[in-house]
Structure formats: structure tokens, C-alpha cells
Copies of this chain bind each other. A is one copy, B any other.
Amino acid sequence: MLPQRFIKTSLRNLRSPIAAALCRNYNSKIDASKLTIERNKNPKAKVPNDQLVFGHSFTDHMLEIDWDVENGWHDPKIVPYGNLSISPAAPTLHYGIGCFEGMKAYKDAAGQVRMFRPNKNIERLENSMARLTLPSMYDCSSALFNDDATALGEDGGFLQCMKELIRLDHDWIPQEEGYSLYIRPTAIGSAESLGLKKSSHCKLFVILSPAGPYYATGFKPVKLLADTKNVRAWPGGVGNVKVAGNYGPTIKPSHDAAEDHDCNGSLWLYGENDEITEVGAMNIFFVMKKKDGSGTEIVTAPLTRGDILPGVTRDSILRLAREWGDYEVSERFLTMGEVLEAEKEGRLLESMGCGTAAIVSPVKSILYKGHEIKMPTGDEVGPVAKKMWATICDIQYGKKDEHPWSTVI
């Protein structure tokens, strides 16, 4: 067997038959055919739908796949849901070497289980892992997003195992519209030593949590604090990947926005022109009449600078809006000055956060330097948000004609 360092060095950015040959003694791919299932002998009682709190109850099983630098991926295993045994020296605890995804499975009217664009999440997870030097296609461990399989329209090994887990726990998916099964794939550096370096061990796991509708009692448009003090991400940073360290530091600012300003969340800005980047843990869209009177623009921050998370819902909204053709769809940085000007000139129409949990989260107003910018939609949901929400929901629950974004599993 060739030394790992040689293999890794030789194969950086190289994906070829040579790579495959060099990796022969190293499990570079997750092999779903080797998945083992240890059934939970003490299944829990299901939580009644009206008592579901986001992320508080979990299904009976979870998926675990370990990796180490010498052997590559171990055989995947489904085991009873329970605590992980983690070294107190593990880099996930000390250095934030962890990344995750948020996905959902839905039960359609026919009782079939569906997923929404799952490969988009798998691809992003792989990018997050690569950024943290966890195993990825860039170092001969292209296990998650299996290029060969995907080219044939097949699933990579990781997605195959994840689907198996969801099928095993499908009874946990609430069978009411608006309900779903929240899926949390996570990868952590699980080495047993300190030292700021590539983790010699990685644990990839998936837990499942039944979730109620984000808007149990109808949409609740939110008031945001445009945060001129805290910055979520920055060029040259890691805002474009879903790594653990991007999230913890946002809790205090959001908490302060609620306590000190009675706001429901933080609108993140960047730079001396207060460019709008994201909201809370979501992307954000604005709908405005154009200054030159030539139509209406839907705008969200671009991915070019590396400080914006490439959201799956963001991408879906952009694609739908372009397909509909009613609006000018822009990926550009909008400044708070432009929003103020649009408000003043009566051109500001609506705004919405977007993400997997809510699909869309309409904005009521934005508190910026003491001035509350009010959306004309007030406590109502704007027409764009409403149409986006309904269209995406219909696809997710398979109510439309078969759509390529929805897969029965």
C-alpha cells in the first residue's frame, strides 16, 4: 500500500482511473451494499403531531459511517438512536471541525416518501467537508457524491444509505400536510488527539427528527434588525460552506436583537455600504420595482464573493422565478441605501428569507439605524412569497405532475 500522504498529494484535484487504481486498498467510496442494520429493541412512542417541537424528538435509528486516514470509509451501519462516544480531544469539540446539512422527507397523499433535490445537499456537504480537510473527492474519498453513479442518474453510496434509514423509520414521518421528517446529516472530525491539523478520523452520521409545519398558525411575517455591528461571514472566510463555526456566533446577536430591539432575527450586512448578505440562518430575497420603471426585480446576494451560503431553496427560487419570466431576476449585492431609497419612492414591494425549514419567511419590516423600513405587505404575505411557497410545497408533496426535483424513495 502506498503511503497515504503520497496518495493524497498525487491525487489532489485529480479524479481519474489512475486515482482509482492507487486507491485500491483504501475504501474511497461508501459502499451501501455493506450497510448493516441493528434494529432498536426499545422503540419510542411517537410524539403526537401537535406536540412536535423542532429538533426535540428523534426517530429510533441513526446512520453512522466512520472514516480513517489509513483505511478510508468503514462499512456503514444503522444503529439505535443514542449518544456518540467521542474523545475529549476530538477536533470537532476544539476546532469546529464539523459541518452539516438540513434536508427533509415528505409523505405524499398516496403515502409515498419523497425527498427534494437531495443531491444538492450531498454536493454541498462534500464541499463543506473538503474545506475542513475532512474526507472528500479532493483527497481520494469521493464517497458522498458519487460522480460515476450520478452521471447515470444513480445515487452515491451515502445517499443510498440515508434513504435506507428513512425507509426504516418511515413510520415517523407525520402523515399530515405541512409535516415532514427533518434530516440532519453531519460530519465531524473524530480523531483522538489535539493538534490543529487534518483530522485522522471522521464520523459521518444522520439523525432524523419529525417536524411540524413552520407556520402552524399561518405565516408570521418577521421584523428584522439590520445588524451594523456583527458580521456573519466575509470574503476570504467560509460563509459559502455549511460549517459549524458559522452558526454558534450568530446566536448572541439574534438574542440581543430580540431583547434589545424586539426583533425576530438579524439581517446580516457587509462592508461600508451595508450590503445585504443573509438573514438569520437563511438567504434573503427582495422584490422591488425598478428605478427606471422597466419592471420588477427579484434580487438576492450573489455567490461570487464566497460569503453567501448556496442555499438549495435559494437556487430553487431563482430557477422558478427565471422560468416564470415575470420578473428581472438578479444576483447582486443590494445595499441598505438602495432599500431605503426604494421605500421612499414606493418601489419596495416585499422581502423574504428562504431556507429548508420555512421554505419562505416573509419580512414585515427592517430596523436600520433606528428607522423601521416597513414592507407594504405588512402582516400579510406578498404575492411572490405566496406563489413561491405554494409552488415549492406542491413539488415537495408531489401534488404537481412529476417534477425532477421530487424523488419518491
Q: A280 vs B280: C-alpha distance in the bound complex, in angstroms?
A: 30
A40 interface residue per 8 A CB criterion: no
CB distance from A44 to the nearest CB of B (A): 13
Bound Cα distance A245, B95 (Å) = 6
Check A247–B88 contact: CB distance below 8 A.
no
Q: In which size bucket is the chain A interface? A: 35 or more
Could you give, for residues 247-260 of chain A, a 1 whenever the CB lies within 8 Å of some chain B CB and a 0 otherwise?
11111101100010
The answer to whether B86 touches A83, judged by C-beta atoms less than 8 angstroms apart, is: yes
Evaluate contact between B131 and A249: CB separation under 8 angstroms: yes
A193 touches B55 (CB 8 A): yes
Are A85 and B85 in contact (CB-based, < 8 A)? yes
Give the residues in chain B near A207, CB-CB below 8 Å: 88-89
Report Cα–Cα, A259/B12, bound state, in Å.
11
- The stretch that binds B, out of A183-191, A283-291, A328-336, is A183-191
Among candidates B81, B86, B243, B281, residue contacting A86 with C-beta atoms closer than 8 Å: B86
Q: How far is the CA of A230 from the CA of B237 in the complex (A)?
A: 6
- Nearest B-chain residue to A54, judged by Cβ: B195
Q: How far is the CA of A86 from the CA of B205 in the complex (A)?
A: 13
Q: Out of B186, B247, B259, which one reaches A196, CB within 8 Å?
A: B247
Assess whether A92 is interfacial by the CB under 8 Å rule.
yes
In the complex the two chains form, what is the Cα distance from A175 to B58 in whole Å? 50
CB pair A237 B249 closer than 8 Å: yes
Is A132 in contact with chain B by the CB < 8 A criterion? yes
Q: Does A293 contact B (CB under 8 A)?
A: no
Of A9, A197, A234, most buried by chain B (CB within 10 Å of CB) is A234
A95 adjacent to B247 (CB under 8 Å): yes
Q: Is the CB of A243 within 8 A of B237?
A: no
Docked-complex contact A251 and B133, CB < 8 angstroms: yes
Name 11 A/B residue pairs within 8 A (Cβ), A-sorted.
A12-B259, A84-B88, A93-B186, A94-B100, A94-B244, A96-B249, A98-B248, A133-B252, A196-B281, A244-B245, A245-B245
Given contacts A58-B89, A96-B248, A231-B235, 9 further A-B contacts (CB under 8 A): A53-B193, A55-B194, A93-B98, A95-B247, A132-B251, A184-B194, A243-B248, A245-B248, A245-B249
**Top 6 closest A-B pairs, CB basis?**
A245-B245, A55-B194, A231-B236, A96-B244, A96-B245, A95-B247
